[in-house]
Amino acid sequence: MDGLHLLLKKLIRTGAGRSRFALAIVGLSVAMLLILASVQIQSNYNDLLHSKTNQDSIANFLVLNKILSDKNIGATALSDNEITDLKKQPFVESIGLLSPSRFKASIQSNSERFPFYTDIAFESVPGDFIDVAGKDWKWDPNAQLVPIIVPNMFLDFYNFQFSFSQNLPQLTQQVVKMIIFKINVYGPNGVISFNAHVVGLSDRISSLLVPEEFMSWGNSHFGKNQDTKPSRVIIRTKDPGNPELVQYLKEKGLGTDADKTRFSRYRQVVDMVVTISGITGIIMLVFALLIFSLFIQLTIASCKEEIVLLITLGASPKQLRKFLMQQFFPVNVLIIVVSIIIISVLQLATHQILLRQHIFVSSYPSFNIFITSLAVLILIWWVNRKYISQYISLSAKK
Amino acid sequence: MTIEFDHIVPTPLKDRFLQRTSEIWNNSVLLKQGEFIKIKAPSGTGKTTLVHILYKLRHDYEGDVRINNIELSGLKEDALAEMRQQQFSIIFQDLRLFPNLTARENIELKRVLQVPYYDAGVIDTMAQALGVSHILEQKASLCSYGEQQRIAIIRALVQPFTWLIMDEPFSHLDADNTYKAARLIEAECRKRNAGMIITDLDDDDHFKYTRQLTL
């Protein structure tokens, strides 16, 4: 610290109004925590909604189809115009066509000990819309195995109803994935069999899913009707509870899983928490800045005589401002650094707690935290500088 | 650096000052670099007012003061600070020391307010020359007025300047101390090729004045 700084420190005592200073620090700390927390919650929320890697995403996927009535029996296909119109809607983030198998197929067990056989139909959907697709999720005519994704409710139905009635053992997901069974595809030239296995169980689409490659191969070789329009589409939307979406579906006579709209309630709660936390943080920040400015005013007023004499002797407002900024500003940096550390620790804890529930959020704080902190720091710096300059000028004018 | 008074009259005292003759008030005067100017004036004729106008502490006057042909009234805060750090050094009549700082700290503050002209050792040398070494570590408020006056003189001499402005700087010093202070001041002015403006009530021979003006 240079000599001038030491002498100024002796002259301009920042002791006056310490309690006010402490109050401003507490206020600013709480404000920063609230603001950064709201930014982090928003960021986690967006991660959960939009991250493609999220295994158990709460992003909303809705399978849409025409509601079957007496009038449209046999005409439930969605036209190109209807699909294009759907794509244009603001609430639709992306759209995928569900292709049904147009060939007859059955599955049967390879094992004598555990016999089963059933006729079956498949669907396929673009990979982006599947939540459990892994590296096995592909197929080509030379592949040994056809991967299949099964709705969770099929397994639940088997485990909790079928197995009891047939006196069969209950099966875990792991066991199901280990079973190799046979798919028979019936074409005009006879039956072709493939080995198949379950690669994942999903809640998202209530159909047996096969890779698109297998579906297009099967449909082109064995399909009975080559020019079939899709009857079902899957859309990705931010908020299935969006009134516009609900209204649109109603107008177009489209149906979906109404149960999913329940999630929108939770979303609205998250939104509200983020908004309230953010607004409270901003209000507290404003108050903290106000108290800070009062503290600066009080400090300068309490050593007004010294400041006037310093200026009289030739101290420049720039020198005094620099000194006062050094007195008042570092504590703000400290508050923000501590807030970032607290948020980082909380984020790590959140990451670990949610991981147990198979919900993935980053273990690191969002980059937005740092941008927000920098923005707030610049704001505080500007406010401090403005008030210090203003009060020094007032003092100088006596 | 030249100083020019161009028909300046303090507004509140305008009527009174215009009724009598003065070599400065309502007159045109040019002070050249390095001149030793004595301004003699009886009480109540505006010595301190003139010093404060020149040091830009007062703005309530008519006419212009020009420093190197630049109007003083137009100087902004930072330029004014620069002028007080580099060009104008001052000894106030009321001294204006910080009462809570020691004598040494009062001087040191002025020394380090800009890039130092002297190193810190010069404070002891000057204090010894003026006989105030023993009170350097004492709070200014506890020093006698005569001691404070010498501290104020030393404070004015540790900074760079081209003009030294003094408002009755020896009012509380005896003849011996006045002589010592005057020699130190003269030496410092000569060293810098600086001019001085000194105001006092009576005639004196403290310095070899180049001009004596009556206020």
Task: Give yes or no for residue A398 having a pLDDT over 60.
Answer: no
User: What is the least distance, in Å, from the CA of B10 to any CA of chain A?
Assistant: 18
Region B61-74 average pLDDT? 91
Cβ–Cβ of A313/B110 closer than 8 Å?
A: yes
Q: Which of A2, A11, A396 is closest, CB to CB, to B77?
A: A396
What is the three-state SS of chain B?
CCEEEEEEEEHHHHHHHHCCCCCCCCCEEEECCCCEEEEECCCCCCHHHHHHHHCCCCCCEEEEEEECCEEHHHCCHHHHHHHHHHCEEEECCCCCCCCCCEHHHHHHHHHHCCCCCCCCHHHHHHHHHHCCHHHCCCEHHHCCHHHHHHHHHHHHHCCCCCEEEEECCCCCCCHHHHHHHHHHHHHHHHHHCCEEEEEECCCCCCCCCCEEEEC
User: What pairs with residue B4 in β-bridges?
Assistant: B30, B66
A94 φ, ψ to 5°?
A: -155, 160
Across the interface, whether the CB atoms of A315 and B96 are under 8 A apart is answered no
Q: How confident is the model at residue A260 (pLDDT cuts 50, 70, 90)?
A: low
What is residue A24's predicted lDDT score, i.e. its pLDDT?
77
Find which of B75, B77, B158 to mutate to test the A interface (most A CBs within 10 Å of its CB): B77
What helix, strand, coil percent values describe chain A, rounded to 5?
55, 15, 30
Helix, coil or strand: residue A58: coil
A4, A11, A312 ranked by CB distance to B57: nearest = A312
Residue contact A314–B112, C-beta within 8 A: no
Q: Where are the beta strands (DSSP E) in chain A?
A: 60-66, 94-100, 104-109, 117-120, 123-124, 145-151, 180-187, 190-202, 232-237, 254-255
* Average pLDDT over every residue of A347-361: 85
Chain B residues touching residue A7 (CB < 8 angstroms): 101, 105, 108-109, 112
How far is A316 from chain B, CA to nearest CA, in Å? 5
CB B197 within 8 A of CB B67: no
DSSP A61: E
**What pTM does this model have?**
0.64
Give the pLDDT confidence of A264-281 residue by residue, as tens digits.
556 667 778 778 878 887
Residues 6 or more apart whose Cβ sits within 8 Å of residue B73:
B56, B59, B64, B65
Q: Which amino acid is at A91?
A: F
Mutation pick from B113, B118, B148, B167 vs chain A, by most beta carbons of A within 10 Å, is B113
Residue B212 — very low, low, confident or very high, per pLDDT cuts 50/70/90?
A: very high
**Residues of chain B neighbouring A323 (CB-CB closer than 8 A):** none
Within 8 A of B57 by CB-CB distance, chain A residues are 312
Q: Which residue of A has its CA nearest to B85?
A: A314
Give the gap in angstroms from C-alpha A27 to the nearest C-alpha of chain B: 34
List C-alpha distances in Å: A269 to A23, A169, A216.
31, 42, 43
Contact B114 A312 (CB under 8 A): no
| Residue range A16-49, pLDDT digits in tens | 667 777 877 888 888 888 888 888 887 887 777 6
Q: What is the mean pLDDT of residues A361-382?
A: 89
- Rounded to whole angstroms, the Cα distance separating A394 from A259 reads 65
Q: How buried is residue A232: exposed, middle or buried, by Cβ count under 10 Å (0-12/13-18/19+)?
A: buried
- Residue A61's pLDDT is 82
Q: Which is nearest to B55 in space by CA: B73, B40, B30? A: B73
> Residue A1: is its pLDDT beyond 60?
no
Task: Say how far apart CA A202 and CA B189 lie, in whole Å.
Answer: 93
For residue B109, give how far its alpha carbon lies from the nearest alpha carbon of chain A (Å): 6
Quick check: ipTM above 0.90? yes
For chain A, what is the mean pLDDT? 82
- Answer yes or no: is pLDDT of A15 > 70: no
CB-nearest to B108 from A3, A309, A319 is A3
Instruction: Identify the pLDDT of residue A17.
Output: 64
Q: Which residues pair with A255 in a beta bridge?
A: A65
**B114: which chain A residues are within 8 Å (Cβ-Cβ)?**
314
Nearest CB to A313: which of B82, B83, B113? B113
Residues of chain B with Cβ-Cβ distance to A316 below 8 Å are 77-78, 81-82, 85
Most trustworthy range by pLDDT among A29-43, A68-82, A134-148, A308-322: A308-322
| Residue of B78, B105, B109 to mutate when probing chain A, most A C-beta within 10 A | B109
* Chain segment B176-201, per-residue pLDDT in tens: 999 999 999 999 999 999 999 999 98
